[in-house]
Amino acid sequence: MLKNKVPWPDQMGVARLLRESRVLPRRFYVRDTETVARELLGKILVHQGTAGRIVETEAYLGLGDLAAHASHGLTQRTRVIFGPPGHAYVYLIYGMYQCLNLVAEPDGTPGCVLLRAVEPLIGIEIMRRRRRAARRPEDLASGPGKLTQALGITLSDYGADVTRGVLTVRALKCEPPFEVAATARMGFTDQADRPLRYIVRGNRFVSGARVRGA
DNA sequence: AGTTCGATCGCCT
DNA sequence: GGCGATCGAACTG
């Protein structure tokens, strides 16, 4: 459906992107986590002169979801997950990578969406500089750690309100159609439960796209 | 205060 | 396909 002709050079200018999109309002996030995760696909993540189209997400639920950080209750690290929606939950993984989540559900109810991959749209030269290891466009942001590295998102963005400020998520006024596929979440062996990973079907910027078909 | 280990990535064989 | 990097949150005693 969607041809990913795409970007080594930027696909669209910043000005045009801002003109043709709007920031997602808080009410977008005040829904169940799975819905938010699914609907975040196709939206644009913007941070400091770089932007990418979200093509892969994972839903992490509340107390019943043993894979979710929030399942162990409210702690210093996870407190933002229990707070108002539309905020960033960033955490350090393996001592060297950072993962970006967006908080969903009403205030007081835990739930967040891990952003796992974006299709680079703007600031690609900046992304290349930040990600020296990336040999191809597909390597720039096709994983949660790569994504934050490419867009320059760090722990200092913890708690940031993504409905205003330097880190935002925007919806294109004219969003191209695409198909959503749901799979098991990555990194878990005991994943016999519901498929909570969502991807834009056929998109080459999804993590692991070269190892699987999806 | 000491230990364990992870919602990953990139390099090695 | 395997493994080491690197560090703080969370848990143990």
The Cα A42–Cα A75 span in angstroms is 32
Q: What is the DSSP letter of A62?
A: S
Q: How far in angstroms lies nucleotide C6's C1' from the CA of residue A145? A: 14
The nucleotide minimizing the C1' distance to residue A69's CA is B7
Compute the distance between CA of residue A61 and CA of residue A69 in angstroms, rounded to an integer.
9
CB A11, CB A172: distance < 8 Å: no
Task: Round to a whole number and report the distance in Å from the CA of A186 to the C1' of B7.
Answer: 8
For residue A151, give its domain range. Answer: 14-173+185-200
What is the distance between the alpha carbons of residues A67 and A55, in angstroms, rounded to a whole number?
21
SS3 category, A93: strand
Q: Tell whether A112 is covered by a domain.
A: yes
Q: Residue A75 domain-assigned?
A: yes
User: How many domains is chain A built from?
Assistant: 1
Q: Which of residues 97-136 of A touch strand B (CB under 7 A)?
A: 97, 99, 101, 112, 114, 131, 133-134
Evaluate whether residue A116 is within a structural domain. Answer: yes
Residue A7 lies in a domain: no
The verdict on residue A1 lying in a domain is no
pLDDT tens string A45-81:
999 999 999 999 999 999 899 999 999 999 999 999 9
CA A6 to C1' C12 (Å) is: 52
Q: pLDDT tens, A70-79?
A: 999 999 999 9
| A35, part of any domain | yes
Q: Please check whether residue A145 lies inside any domain of the structure.
A: yes
The model's pTM = 0.93
